[in-house]
């Protein structure tokens, strides 16, 4: 069920296992929580007051369904997690809002944008490369020499420069 819902390989470092451990051993903490946020998204929340999660990191939680482009309701229910913990998912560059009123009094008013929160994605975004003939690879890549397709961790396939799900 997990792989079918997420397309992500089973790894104990994925968030799904950490949250399930919280359900089993720290249920009062789960019941007290208002939002599930990654570190970068928590910083966005502190600046803007808006709970959202950026898609590059959401894909690594093993709770996100890339076909539906939303949290997997089946996994959230199976894990016994409250659905309201999971905020809207946004892409990098999305304007989340503006700095909170309390911070604006000290810092001035400015917009807050979602940043690429996955470490590899952020590193790739920082590479000063141009054009179509460069790339990055990790051990997570699955490459098919027969079809010329590359499957990502979210189960998408790249054909001739276009992304298909």
Catalytic (active-site) positions? 119
DSSP result, the chain: -HHHHH-PPP-TTSHHHHHHHHHHH-HHHHHH-S----HHHHHHHHHHS---EEHHHHTTSS-EETTTTEE-HHHHHHHT--GGGSPPEE-TT-EEEE--HHHHHHH---EEE----SHHHHHHHH----SSS-----TT-EEETTTTEEE-TTS-EEETTEEE-
140 Cβ neighbours under 8 A, 6+ residues apart: 9, 152, 153
Structure tokens belonging to residue 103: 């911070």
């Amino acid at each position: 069920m997990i792989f079918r819902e997420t397309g992500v390989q089973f790894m104990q470092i994925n968030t799904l296992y950490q949250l399930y451990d919280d359900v089993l051993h720290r249920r009062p903490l789960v019941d007290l929580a208002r939002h599930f946020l990654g570190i970068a998204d928590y910083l966005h929340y502190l600046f803007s007051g808006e709970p959202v999660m950026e898609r590059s990191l959401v894909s690594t939680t093993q709770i996100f369904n890339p076909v539906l482009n939303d949290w997997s309701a089946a996994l959230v229910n199976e894990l016994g997690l409250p659905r309201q913990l999971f905020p809207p998912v946004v892409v990098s560059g999305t304007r989340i809002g503006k700095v909170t009123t309390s911070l604006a009094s000290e810092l001035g008013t400015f917009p807050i944008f979602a940043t690429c929160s996955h470490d590899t994605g952020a590193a790739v975004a920082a590479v000063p490369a141009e054009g179509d003939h460069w790339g990055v690879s990790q051990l997570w890549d699955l490459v098919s020499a027969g079809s010329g397709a590359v499957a990502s961790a979210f189960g998408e396939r790249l054909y001739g420069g276009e992304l298909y799900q």
